[in-house]
Structure formats: C-alpha cells, structure tokens
Structure 1
Amino acid sequence: MKRRIGSVNTLHQQNASMQIKFDKTDLLHNQIPHEDPLVINLTVVECLVRRVLIDPGSSANVMPRDTFDQLEINPDRLKPTGNPLLGFDGKRVEPIGMVEVAVYAVERVLMESFMVIEIHPSYNLLMGRGWIHRVQGVPSTLHQVMRCLGPDSTKIEQSRPERTTRVGVGLTEREKQELIDFLSHNANVFVWSHLDMPGISPLVSCHSLNVDPNARPVKQR
C-alpha cells in the first residue's frame, strides 16, 4: 500500500482560470459506458495506499482494520467513538475506534479522522465528503477523475494524487499559471510508470538495477 453547482458558478464568475470542469478528453482512457466507482491512490502516513474509494455519500472516512495494521499505526492512537456507522444494508457497524493520521494530497497535508472498522471490502480506504470539501474537490465517477483547487486556488487534477510535480518558486505568478495550464492540458503525453506503456519490447527499452546479486534485501516501510 504505500458540490455544489453554485460554488462552481461562483468560481467561474470570479476567475475563469479557476473553473473546474470536465470535458470529452477526460473520457478518452475510459471504457464507456461504465458503472465504476471513483478509486484513486493516496499517500497516508507517508505510505502510498492504493484503491482508495472516493464516496461523496459518506459522512465519514473509513479505514478497514487490515489497512490500519499494514500502516503499522500504534494501536494506542485509537480513540473510542460512540458513533456507529450505518451500512448499505441498513445494519449498524460498531467501529473499533477512531484514529487521526496525515493525508497528503493536492499540495496539502491534512490530519484526517478515520473510523477503523473490522470489514474486508475491495478498497483500502474510503474518503468521505468532509475530506472532499476540505481539498475543494469535485469528483466525477463518469470521467474517473477528481479535480481540486490547490491552496493558492490554482486548478489541479487529482484523479491520481501521487502524480504531481513541482514548479519553480522563482517564477512569476503569470509564468507559474501558464506552466500549470500547459502541463494540465498535456497531461496525457506523460507516463508515470511502465504500467502506462504496455507492450513495449525489451529490445526497445529495458531497465535494470546495478546491484550485487548476493546482497541481502532489506525490508523497509
């Protein structure tokens, strides 16, 4: 593992460059029609957590017990909570406790509270609407993208928050905005891992690590 429509309209009236929108280019890499939920990756407790479900219908962030254990969070940090969760089947679920951990996304580090529950879902974390609002996010399950406003109100794509880059601090505000707009507009030409380039022959490109084959691997977080 390591919405309001009025709000968007207000942003558009204040500054067109701050508008959050989705268009046909966002659908190019999706199989349409689909009924997939919006699942992303997030960095939590300095670990990359895959398969994070974005759920605007949930009032709470949820952390399965397996994820809690794999993040190696000290059980002493669990706080009791008297608020049961209501599942989709209408049954009440009693949390093991609540824990507050750091979530890294959209140039922010937010301390988020999670309900730790003894469940075994297909996702590793569930992020509710409270977190979505705090990062000024607008998720779209259709486009499989979540877009947010950064701390400086610049637009950032957050479908995969680990895919970020930094811009030079010496740039003027105009240069910074032009560079962000350029990178956002051409995001589809960048690849972030070999998984984005399937079918490439090793005769064309091959990567190897120059390490001692007799060295003993060391496990680290």
Structure 2
Amino acid sequence: MIQGEVKTISRGSILDKDSKTTKKKYARQVYNLYQFGQAKPHMPMTFSTEDYEDVIRPHEDPLIINPIIGQNKIWKVMVDTGSSANILFHKTYCKMNLAGEQLEPCNEAPLYAIGGHPIQFEGTITLPVLLGKLPYTTKKLVKFYVVRIESPYNAIFGRPFLSTFEVVESIPHLKLKFPTEKGVGEMRGDQKTARIIMLEDLEKD
C-alpha cells in the first residue's frame, strides 16, 4: 500500500537562469504535455546484446564521446544527463582556432558545481556539432557556456544536447543512438579514455 508521495528536484534547473517570460513559456509546454501526451519518436531506437561489442562489463564508466564540434574533432567530451547546460571549457575553446567566432556576453546566473561553488561564465558560443558516421550522420547547432575551470574533459554535453539531437543513451552499452535522414545513427563511448581519466583522478586523491 502506498502511504505517501515524495517529489524532489535535484541538481538545479536551467530555468534558474532564465527570465519570467521563458519560465511561463516552459510552464505552458508542461501543461500541453500533460494535456495531450508526449510526442512519439520518429523511429524506434533500441539496444541489444550486439551493442555490447568491445564493452568491458560490468562497469560504471562515464559515457565519453569524440564528436566534431565546429571544424575540430574534440576528444574527451562527457555526456552528462545531470547537467542542465552544455559546457565548453575555456582551455578547449582557445585551442579550437575559431577564427571570427566571438564569445557572446552572458549575464545569466552562474552554474553551481559540487559543493555549491558558483561557476561564472566567460560567455556563450553556438557551434555546429556533427554526430555519427556516414551515411548515418546528423549536424545541429549547439549553444555552449564557456567556463574557465580545470577539468579532465574538453566539453560536457548536458540535457539540452540530448534534446536537440533526440538522443537515446545507454550507459550499460556506452552508446548513443539518434535519428538521421538515412536511419538511426550511433556513437560508441570511449571506455579506454574514461578509465584513464578515472585512474588519474584516483591518483590525485
């Protein structure tokens, strides 16, 4: 028998940084979702035992991919469903040779790291991101928040990225799947790099 109900919100929301107008628009979308139900996906995206190929199991490794951002292949990009923003670290931004690309000023409220420490933005930048391998590729524009902090990663894809690309992820399979014009595309996680990063973190402790 159910004796009660507990509803929680964890790790904050991207709405914390937005205006009242944006929050009202989002609230209307939530209302429509409850009224009419969620839209069905374009095409089925499923995972099977074949998707475990080359994955060392069992594991608790993060999902790290190596996509094309702008005109660069960027290694060590973590996919984090707990992040409400797409993050590009300043050290990476400086190495990308983004001729003519300027950071846009950002006056939004800061993000908060573990421990409640605020992270100020250097600015924002919108860049094309390419996922997949031919012929199953897709490219979309992604807004990044540029931050100047140390990280073993070059960038972090948060929930906005997953929504933009309509990504379905599987941590056990260390793989992303997403719709493309030719069918279902996929990107496999880089488990070796994920484990190297975790080992380096352990050595620092």
Tell whether the structures are fold-level matches, with TM greater than 0.5: yes
Aligned equivalent of 1:60: 85
Aligned equivalent of 1:130: 160
Q: What is the TM-score normalised by the length of structure 2?
A: 0.65
Aligned with 1:157: secondary structure?
strand
CA separation of 1:75/1:61 partners in 2, compared to 1, >3 Å: closer, same or farther? farther
- 2:129 pairs with 1:100: no
* Aligned-residue identity in percent: 26
Q: Report the AA paired with residue 156 of structure 1.
A: G
- 2:45 pairs with 1:20: yes
Distance 2:164 2:181 in 1: 10
CA separation of 1:120/1:131 partners in 2, compared to 1, >3 Å: closer, same or farther? same
Aligned with 2:156: secondary structure?
strand
Q: Deviations over 1:25-45 (max 9, x none)?
A: 222311111111100011111
Q: What is the TM-score normalised by the length of structure 1?
A: 0.61
Aligned equivalent of 1:50: 75
- Aligned mate of 2:185, from 140, 156, 160: 156
Aligned with 1:25: secondary structure?
helix
Q: Which has the higher contact order (CA 8 A, sep 6+)?
A: 2
Distance 2:87 2:100 in 1: 16
Gaps of 5+ in 1: 1-5, 161-221
Aligned with 1:126: secondary structure?
strand
Aligned with 1:26: secondary structure?
helix
- Aligned mate of 2:148, from 109, 112, 118: 118
CA separation of 1:91/1:101 partners in 2, compared to 1, >3 Å: closer, same or farther? same
Aligned with 2:163: secondary structure?
helix
Distance 1:58 1:38 in 2: 13
Distance 1:21 1:31 in 2: 20
* 1:146 Cα deviation after fit: 0.4
8 A Cα contact 1:135 1:150, kept in partner: no
Equivalent runs, 1:1-221 vs 2, <5 Å: 10-11=40-41, 18-74=43-99, 77-83=102-108, 84-106=110-132, 107-151=137-181, 154-159=183-188
RMSD of aligned residue pairs (Cα, Å): 2.3
Aligned with 2:188: secondary structure?
coil
* 1:74 Cα deviation after fit: 4.9
* 1:88 Cα deviation after fit: 2.2
* 1:156 Cα deviation after fit: 1.5
Q: Deviations over 1:142-192 (max 9, x none)?
A: 11000111146x2122226xxxxxxxxxxxxxxxxxxxxxxxxxxxxxxxx
CA separation of 1:117/1:75 partners in 2, compared to 1, >3 Å: closer, same or farther? farther
Distance 2:126 2:138 in 1: 16
Gaps of 5+ in 2: 1-36, 190-205
8 A Cα contact 1:37 1:141, kept in partner: yes
